[in-house]
Amino acid sequence: MKIHIKNGRLIDPKNGIDAVQDIFIAKGKIVAIGAAPSEFQASRVIDAQGLVVCPGLVDLSVRLREPGLEYMATLESEMAAAVAGGVTSIACPPDTDPPLDEPGLVEMLKHRAKNLNQAHVYPIGALTQGLKGERLTEMAELNDAGCVVFGQSDGLLPNLRVLMQAMRYASTFGFSVWLRPQEITLTGDGVAHDGEVATRLGLLTVPVCAETIAIANIVLLAKEIGVSVHLCRISSAEGLAMIRVAKQQGLPITCDVTINHLHLSDMDIGFFDSNCHLMPPLRGFSDRDALRHGLLDGTVDAICSDHAPVDEDAKLLPFAQSDVGATGVELLLPLTLKWAAEMRLPLLKALARITTEPARILGIDAGHLSVGSAADICIFDPDHYWKVTPAAIQSQGKNTPFMGMELPGGVKYTLVNGHIVYEH
Amino acid sequence: MINRNPQLDEHGTLQHLLTTEGLPASVLLHILDTAESFVGVTERDVKKIPLLRGKSIFNLFFEPSTRTRTTFEIAAKRLSADVFNLNIAVSAQSKGETLLDTVNNLSAMNADMFVVRHSQSGAAHLIAKHVQPDIHVINAGDGSHAHPTQALLDMFTIRRYKRDFRNLRVAIIGDILHSRVARSQIHALTTLGVPEVRVIAPKTLLPKMVERLGVHVYHDMAKGLKDIDVLMMLRLQNERMKGANLPSPEEYFKYYGLTPEKLALARRDAIVMHPGPMNRGVEIDSEVADGKQSVILPQVTFGIAVRMAVMSILAGNQV
């Protein structure tokens, strides 16, 4: 199918383009930008007048809940949600049931995802068997099966000796290690930031040092071993400051924040809103502001949705007993646009945080619009505000702290490999 | 997004009693004043009045409690309500029924009021959010969050003995970190205009930023008790006496237990309170607990009148 996208405002952070230009697609690839190739006969013309045409988004943390957790969500529901959010490449944490620690499971997931013909799925392999932090997984085999990076998801970090060996082993093959910094002995049963809100509500807390101590350990190990490390879902100003120093030293370290931590603080828990039961916990205003600025100055490399659909009943419980997580893949673009507007940041720079940068971290050829590259494209109306309602969300998970809010950025078309996989 | 205080309706009328936080002084004082009128009832030969005749009150105790449940039951019966006690810790929940399922089932039995005790902070708020609008919820203790009727009976007791809140120094002593009682007391005291509220505890038993609740923090009893008019002792749970919070009950008693010597550091007319049940020889010496300055037993008596007041106000009955 040959597609001509005309009159759109093309924004491609990688190539530094922000201009009204046409795109021509054939055989799944971008064949020309600007002028049409000779004898190009479009079978479909998309008029993108007033719309932004950008690379399909890359989301570094989307839980598809398969295998094993289909009561929360299915591959069908969440893959549909991803493309409805303009997301064309997704990294899936290994915290499925069983965890993604065997090549067969990864192959099955890749196969199922491929048959759905929607977003590209990049499973994050488990770093240790069963995510238990004891024995290494067959990383090279898992890589053959399709895992590009390795991590522990929200599971506990291995003890330091095992972690060091896991990093060494991963670095043997050039794999990067993705870790959410969390010292589990300090996290304990904590569910909220150690601050005034938790003190008022009588909730068990997760101190900031649970994050900073883990960052210190990980950074020192990464330095010792020379492995590239991605720190997932940073929540605190202090943690960010440590990462800034590590980056200044030239260590191969990257990090991301979630859409939730970019916009919310522990105050949003209000009267025990279980939609704000997230991990790491939402922290204070000063932490949130540090993350917003860290993303601006590049200390934070990327924004992820940390998409975690959960069963509705599992949120109708007292705060600490409710399931952790929020749906989010459809809010990645709107909440990035909201952040950019609030920080007065041009779209070209803002979109880099959900296209070029996450693609670089994941090590994939995606997140840009170059002639010859796969036609993974998101077309959205930046001025369209829509209300987040259960019906407006494709994901099976309807749990988000942003429910009821009006957010900018309506996705009109999503293309994967030159196919229109979503149209609104 | 912060919603309206879920305890009040759009006219500012009390719908549920979930916490003392965020309630205006007028609401707290109305409860105390109403309770005054019920103290007489509890002292009569015939201790019943028909204010809640025909109303069904369910005591939902997801956590074991004898004293609090009994005082709620007595209060409801003195108002002529029908009382149903459900000890849910050993029934529905162990069969896998969720909290809201239990509540919905009971609502279907035409309940008018739920008195809820639960081990999780926020449980009463959750129930209040999901019951039909004509059902009222009273929080009888949720996790470490709130225990508003205890705090109100404490305020009632203080007012009985000290008259005016606005010239008092009050100290709350013990395990503030895990105490729903302490949190509710702090909010009630500051709302009612007590100019100086102190908390006295080792650092392992204090939550972070507790001073933001409007209290002064002390770690030393000798300093903290100086010029104090009201001492509010807290119970130290057995499981917290040895381990990572405290080394031993003996050391705790030596430094934070209320002995006659330490009590002598407060004002001579200071009163001593305790929400019960007491650990004698851990947080309080028997000589103090049974001494002249102790108002611990009157607290229990007033607790019934205060709970009667809360129930009748929620049911919309003015006295």
Q: Which chain A residue shows the shortest CA-CA distance from B118?
A: A318
Cβ-based contacts of B1 with chain A (< 8 Å): 268, 270, 401, 404-405
Per mean pLDDT, which of A152-156, B87-91, B239-243 is the most reliable? A152-156
**Is residue B316 very low, low, confident or very high in pLDDT (cuts 50, 70, 90)?**
confident
User: What is the DSSP-derived secondary structure letter of residue B56?
Assistant: E
Q: Which of A186, A266, A271, A286 to mutate to test binding with chain B, by most B CBs within 10 Å of its CB?
A: A271
CB-closest option in A200, A316, A320 to B213? A200
* Contacts across the A-B interface (CB distance below 8 Å): 80
**Is residue B90 very low, low, confident or very high in pLDDT (cuts 50, 70, 90)?**
low
For chain A, say whether B126 makes contact (Cβ under 8 Å). Answer: yes
Nearest to B199 by CA among B212, B186, B209: B186
CA distance to partner chain B, nearest, from residue A208 (Å) = 12
Percent of chain A beyond pLDDT 70? 100
Contact B302, B183 (CB under 8 A): no
**Is this prediction's pTM over 0.90?**
yes
Cβ-based contacts of A318 with chain B (< 8 Å): 99, 118, 120-123, 126, 142-143
Cβ-based contacts of B145 with chain A (< 8 Å): 201-203
| pLDDT tens digits, one per residue of B99-131 | 888 888 888 888 999 999 999 999 999 999 999
- Enumerate the active-site residues of A: 306
| pLDDT tens digits, one per residue of A378-413 | 999 999 999 999 999 999 999 999 999 999 999 999
CA distance to partner chain B, nearest, from residue A393 (Å) = 19
The answer, yes or no, to whether residue B3 has pLDDT greater than 80, is: no
Instruction: Name the residue with higher pLDDT: B138 or B88.
Output: B138
Nearest to A199 by CA among B46, B132, B209: B209
The answer, yes or no, to whether residue B274 has pLDDT greater than 60, is: yes
Gap between the Cα atoms of B181 and B226, Å rounded: 23
Mean pLDDT calculated for residue range A246-272: 97
What's the complex ipTM? 0.93
3-state helix/strand/coil string of B248-299: CHHHHHHHHCECHHHHCCCCCCCEEECCCCCCECCCECHHHHCCCCECHHHH
pLDDT, averaged across chain A: 96
Domains defined for chain A, CATH in brackets:
3-52+374-423 (2.30.40.10), 56-362 (3.20.20.140)
The answer, yes or no, to whether residue B65 has pLDDT greater than 90, is: no
pLDDT of the residue at B93: 58
pLDDT of the residue at B64: 84
CB-closest option in A268, A271, A320 to B120? A320
Gap between the Cα atoms of B20 and A297, Å rounded: 44
The answer, yes or no, to whether residue A107 has pLDDT greater than 50, is: yes
Contact A259, A331 (CB under 8 A): yes
The phi, psi pair for A298, rounded to 5°, reads 95, -5
The answer, yes or no, to whether residue B1 has pLDDT greater than 50, is: no
Mean pLDDT calculated for residue range A364-374: 97
Our measurement of the distance from residue A117's CA atom to the centroid of its chain's CA atoms, rounded to an integer in Å, reads 20
Q: What size, in residues, is chain A?
A: 424
The identity of residue A94, as a single letter, is: P
pLDDT of the residue at A175: 97
B100 is written with which tokens? 């809201």
Mean pLDDT calculated for residue range A68-72: 89
Mean pLDDT calculated for residue range A193-218: 98
Angle at A333 between CA A327 and CA A335, to 5 degrees: 70
Task: Tell which A residues from 103 to 122 touch B, by Cβ distance under 8 Å.
Answer: none
CB–CB of A200 and B1 under 8 A? no
| pLDDT tens digits, one per residue of A45-56 | 999 999 999 999
Q: Which of A189, A191, A196, A199 to mutate to test binding with chain B, by most B CBs within 10 Å of its CB?
A: A199
Contact B148, B19 (CB under 8 A): yes
Lowest-confidence segment of A365-369, B169-173, B243-247 by average pLDDT: B243-247
CB–CB of A316 and B100 under 8 A? yes
The identity of residue B272, as a single letter, is: V
Contact A175, A143 (CB under 8 A): yes
Nearest to A58 by CA among A269, A366, A387, A296: A366
pLDDT, averaged across chain B: 92
For chain B, say whether A196 makes contact (Cβ under 8 Å). Answer: yes
For chain B, say whether A32 makes contact (Cβ under 8 Å). Answer: no
Q: B263 Cβ partners below 8 Å, 6+ apart?
A: B225, B231, B270, B272, B288, B291, B293
Nearest to A125 by CA among A113, A136, A134: A136
Instruction: Tell me the CA distances in angstroms from A370 to A11, A327, A355, one per residue in order.
Output: 11, 31, 13
Our measurement of the distance from residue A31's CA atom to the centroid of its chain's CA atoms, rounded to an integer in Å, reads 29
Gap between the Cα atoms of B176 and B184, Å rounded: 11
For chain A, say whether B143 makes contact (Cβ under 8 Å). Answer: yes
Q: Which residues of A294-325 are buried (b: 16+ CB within 10 A; e: fewer)?
A: bbbeebbbbbbbbbbbbbeebbbbbbbbbbeb
| pLDDT tens digits, one per residue of B32-53 | 999 999 998 777 777 789 999 9
The string of DSSP codes covering A63-125 is: ---TTT-TTT--HHHHHHHHHHTTEEEEEE-S-SSS-S-SHHHHHHHHHHHHHHTSSEEEEEE
pLDDT of the residue at B94: 58
Q: Which chain B residue shows the shortest CA-CA distance from A263?
A: B1
Task: Tell which B residues from 274 to 303 touch A, by Cβ distance under 8 Å.
Answer: none
Query: Which H helix or E strand runs over A422?
Result: strand A419-423
pLDDT of the residue at B319: 44
Mean pLDDT calculated for residue range B277-282: 94
Query: Which H helix or E strand runs over A149?
Result: strand A149-151
Nearest to A88 by CA among A65, A114, A58: A58
Mean pLDDT calculated for residue range A122-134: 96
| pLDDT tens digits, one per residue of B208-244 | 999 999 999 999 999 999 999 999 999 998 877 878 8
For chain B, say whether A94 makes contact (Cβ under 8 Å). Answer: no
For chain A, say whether B1 makes contact (Cβ under 8 Å). Answer: yes
Percent of residues in chain B assigned helix, strand, coil, to nearest 5: 40, 15, 40
CA distance to partner chain B, nearest, from residue A59 (Å) = 26
Q: Where are the alpha helices (DSSP H) in chain B?
A: 25-43, 67-78, 99-107, 123-130, 148-162, 180-191, 221-224, 249-256, 260-263, 286-289, 296-314
| pLDDT tens digits, one per residue of A291-349 | 999 999 999 999 999 999 999 999 999 999 999 999 999 999 999 999 999 999 999 99
